[in-house]
Amino acid sequence: MAQGCLKCLKYTMCVANLLCFICGAVVLGFGVYMTLNFKFAALTPTLASFNLANMLLISGIVITCVSFLGFLGALKENRCLLLTYFLLLFILMLVELTAACLLLVYEKEIGELVKKDLVNGLKVANNPNATDTNVERDWDVVQKKLQCCGVNNETDWKPKPPLSCCAADCDLPKPQYWKKGCLITLQNFFEDNFLTTGISVIVLCIIEVLGMCFAMTLFCHISRSGLGYKL
């Protein structure tokens, strides 16, 4: 009975980690796609290293590596791999919780950094002698995607807003522009998704705790029975 339960646990770990490996590969591929097609380093240089594309790339690499260790360790009943898998999951959980706490503590400071970058980027885009076209391109993409205009509203643009600010009657002499600024739109977006992000972090931590429990159970069983590869 115990052997049957442990075999079930072993193959459950294999299947779960294989699925995680596939998901990690998909996340990694999506991160590469976003890196090639969505570049906002010119618009928010302060946070350029922490954009969504970089986060997806890092997450994809970490997920694929850790899940591969878990799959191989469970399949081969390798105590060294299982222990490494356990430690990596524990470190990942600590990093996730630390990052979540830092975001809560420094939420206002991060908001100020984003505002400063947007204001500076708008100054460059408003400068008729500016040679950096990347800032203008980034502003056009952000304003079209978020349906916003300027940092606070359309009056931020001088002498008039670009076409990406247009909401209706774009062909008329006096088109209608988006009323909301991009700063408040971004703030509302993060506030609306704050609960979802918190729930996702909690669920992820629960999955990691279960993975650690399964790995340690297999590790202890292999150690007691003398099966599998030695440390």
Q: What is the pLDDT of residue 229?
A: 45
Task: Please list the helix, strand and coil fractions of the chain in percent, rounded to the nearest 5, in that order.
Answer: 75, 5, 20
Q: What is the pLDDT of residue 68?
A: 92
d(CA 143, CA 165): 6
d(CA 143, CA 164): 6
| Amino acid at site 166 | C
Q: What is the pLDDT of residue 103?
A: 77
Q: What is the pLDDT of residue 79?
A: 87
d(CA 176, CA 154): 10
C-alpha closest to that of 21 among 78, 65, 82: 65
Percent of the chain with pLDDT over 90: 5
d(CA 17, CA 95): 20
- Phi then psi dihedrals of residue 222, to 5 deg: -65, -40
For the chain, the structural domain boundaries read 2-94+206-225, 109-186
Q: What is the pLDDT of residue 53?
A: 67
Contact 22, 100 (CB under 8 A): no
Q: What is the pLDDT of residue 30?
A: 79
Q: What three-state secondary structure class fits 41? A: coil
Name the CATH superfamily for 109-186.
Answer: Tetraspanin (1.10.1450.10)
Low-confidence residues in the chain, pLDDT < 50: 42, 228-231
Residue 136 Cα distances to 36, 42, 65, angstroms = 18, 9, 38
Report field, pTM of the whole predicted structure over 0.85: no
